[in-house]
Structure formats: structure tokens, C-alpha cells
Amino acid sequence: MSIRDAQREAVIERLAGHLLAHGLARTSLRQLAQAAGVSDRMLLYYFADKAEVLAAVMARVAGELSLRLAEAIPDGAPLKPAELVRRAAAFTTGPDMRRFMRLWVEVVAAAARGEAPFSAIVAQVMAGFRHWVDTRLDLPEGADREGTAAAIIAVIDGLALVDICSEDEIAARMAAALSTLLAE
Amino acid sequence: MSIRDAQREAVIERLAGHLLAHGLARTSLRQLAQAAGVSDRMLLYYFADKAEVLAAVMARVAGELSLRLAEAIPDGAPLKPAELVRRAAAFTTGPDMRRFMRLWVEVVAAAARGEAPFSAIVAQVMAGFRHWVDTRLDLPEGADREGTAAAIIAVIDGLALVDICSEDEIAARMAAALSTLLAE
DNA sequence: GACTCCTTGTAGCAACTGCTACATAGTATC
DNA sequence: GATACTATGTAGCAGTTGCTACAAGGAGTC
């Protein structure tokens, strides 16, 4: 592996941590370069442009996310929707996963704003979410799997969004309250 | 009312439409000025700085939103959580309200990023949401009203977030599927 | 008419944005 | 040792950002 490729990998790794820590707040080329410990000149030697940097880093983050989701709720026995939501909610509002979900909300907003690499990233991550739900969802024949999957994802993402702008204490009670809202 | 105050009002009105149409995508001072039909120099004559412009416009938008929410689901007979969610979901995913919710998602993300006027705006709008839910929520004595309100808001906001990055066809089925997920 | 205040235009500044031209040092190949 | 390719630094460009200094026209008051 060339030095360049090795550096690419190292930069992606460091920037994944950076994005998870700071969201999209510090993502100018110079700020990214500093966080990665290289010069901005070199960042654009390793990557074609800023969009490629962000796309590579977000791909890494998305991979990590799907890995953790798969670990937390494996593809074993399918779960009824309410139970799936409960377990997914408990997981994504956990201390380590919150930064993933926060970043996810920011990325969706960036995509809504039409910023270059994010629309594609959102489509890809969203497809991953759908697939994750689909392989774990126990639904009666004839039910709307796609619609139900979308609804489940909406609930999980909604928790993340409200989590961003609430005190910890209320956020903790939110998941519990949600549980009682769900049918069996 | 001085010319300045009259212009302030007119500018706020026009920019509210601009934000609802384009989200936070075109919000540089010069872009805002153009959308408002004034020079950027004058925009900063009417308002102290950019943050004050956005705060004023967002306050207008938030007022409009709460007005419409109050109209759509008046503060009459309290509703059980599931029914409240159903009706709120039907309303906020309606064609006219989607741009409000999309802007809301963007604003939350901006607040998460720490951008100047948005944290305060989010806190204020969120409090409005909570109050709106609280005055319409039929809950048994001893239940966690705050937690339940947060959960309800989360579900509504989650629909909006997924709505942003889905095809219309799936988004329409999502609300229906959500309804069957809810307990009575 | 002089004075003052409200309103508006022109011009520009310093900082930051993404990105690039150019030079150079090293390293590998023949 | 000449040549070519990889890797890195220095410097800077053109565009955008939020914001401001300065001047001047107009309107009202003395």
C-alpha cells in the first residue's frame, strides 16, 4: 500500500472520530485537515475534493453504525414492531450511540439543504436502515412492510431529534413513555 | 410607525416565505437581502446583525406554526396519546405543513451545530410544542406527562425527518403504518 | 437658510471558503 | 548518474462571508 493510501486510511479514521465528536460544525477543509493532523494541501492530495473527504468519512461512520446495530440486535428471531422499536430505541439513545444519531440528524438536514455529498449518503444510510428493519421485522402476511419499516425508523430518528434539544432527564423518560404508547 | 419599522415588518414577512420555501439553504446576508427585495446594507440598517434577522423571521414562522397547530387541533376535549399522535401526524404531513417541519428539522440541526440564534429558537419552539401537547393530552393520573409529551413530539418530528429523505409514496404509507403501531 | 435626524447608496475590509500553481525533496528504475 | 514518479511545503487565487466607514439626499425644526 502506498504512503498515500495508508494516509488516506488514517485520515478517514481520525476524521470519523472528529465528525462523531463535533458533528458537521467544523468541516471546512482547513478544520478537517487540522483534525486529521495533516496540512490542507495534503488533504487534497489524498482526496479529490472536499466532497470526497466527507463521503469517505461518512461511509466509514455508516459502516461502523450498521456494524453496531447488527451487533446490538442480531438478525435472529424476528421481533414484533413494538418490541423492535423498544429495543432499537434503548440502543440508539444509549450513551455511545447518541453521537451517531446526532450526526445523522445533521446529515439529513444537510441533504435537505442540498449540500453536495450528503444527499447520496442519506439515501445509502437510509437504505441500510430499511434493510436492517426489514430483516428483523415480524409482520403478519399482507401488512405494509415498507410503510411499517419507515414508521419504525421515523420513531427512532424522532427520539434522536428530540434528544438533541432536550435536557438529559426528560430524554431518559421519553423512551419509557414511548414504550407505553406502542401496541403489542 | 417609522419607515424603518414598517420595512422591518415587510422584510420579516417576505423572509418567512423565503425560509419556508428554501429552508436554511440560502441564508447569507446578501441572499436574504435579495429575497427580501432590499440591499444588504439596508438589511443591516433594519436589524442589528444577521442573527437578529434570522431570530425575527423564525419567531414569525414559529408563530404561524403554532397558530396553525392550534387551529387544526383545538384545545377542546383532551385526546388519548395514540389519537393525538394520529391527528397531529395527519396534519403535519399534509402538503402545506411539510415545509414547516422540514425547516424545523434544519433548525434543530443548526442548533446542534451551535449556530448562533438557533439554539434559543429551538428551545422556544420546543417549549411551544410541549405546551401544545400538554393542553391536549388525556393521560391517567400518575402518568409521566412530560415524558409522554416528549415521546409524542419525537414521533411527529421523526415522521418529518424521514419524510425529508423518502419518496412521497412511502411517506404516505408511513403515517398509516404508524397508526397501527400505536396502542389504544 | 442653518441644523439635525432619518434614510439610503457606494465602496470596501478582513476573514474565511475551496482549490491550485509551482517548486522541491526523496525514492525507485533503468 | 539520468529519468520519472511520489510525496510534501509555500504561496496564493478568486469568490463569499458578515459587517462597517463614509458620504449624501431628504425632511422636519428653529
Is the CB of A45 within 7 Å of strand C?
A: no
B80-114 pLDDT, tens digit per residue, is: 999 999 999 999 999 999 999 999 999 999 999 99
- φ/ψ of residue A18, rounded to 5: -60, -50
Neighbours of B149 (CB within 10 A): 26
Domain ranges within chain B, ordered by starting residue: 3-181
Is the CB of A29 within 7 Å of strand C?
A: yes
User: What's the pLDDT at B89?
Assistant: 96
Residue recorded with cell 440564534: B117
- How far apart are alpha carbons A56 and A138 in whole angstroms? 34
Q: Are the C-beta atoms of A97 and A88 separated by less than 8 Å? A: no
* Of B90, B88, B91, B72, residue with least CA distance to B80: B88
CA distance A174 to chain B (A): 4
List bases in chain D with any atom under 7 Å of a protein Cβ. Answer: 6-11, 16-21
A16-46 pLDDT, tens digit per residue, is: 999 999 999 999 999 999 999 999 999 999 9
Give the residue whose CA sits closest to D11 at C1'.
Answer: A41
Neighbours of B1 (CB within 10 A): 8
Residue of A86, A108, A126, A168 best to disrupt the B interface, most CBs of B under 10 A: A108
CA distance A3 to chain B (A): 34
- Chain-chain contact of A157 with B158 (C-beta, under 8 angstroms): yes
Query: CA separation (Å) from A147 to B57, B124, B180?
Result: 35, 32, 11
Average pLDDT per consecutive 10 residues, chain A (184 residues; last block may be shorter): 89 98 97 97 97 98 96 93 96 94 98 94 96 96 95 98 94 93 81
Buried b (16+ CB within 10 A) or exposed e, B8-39: beebbebbbebbbebbbebbeeeebbebbebe
- Chain-chain contact of A166 with B109 (C-beta, under 8 angstroms): no
B36-88 pLDDT, tens digit per residue, is: 999 999 999 999 999 999 999 999 999 999 999 999 999 988 999 999 999 99
CATH fold label, A3-181? Tetracycline Repressor; domain 2 (1.10.357)
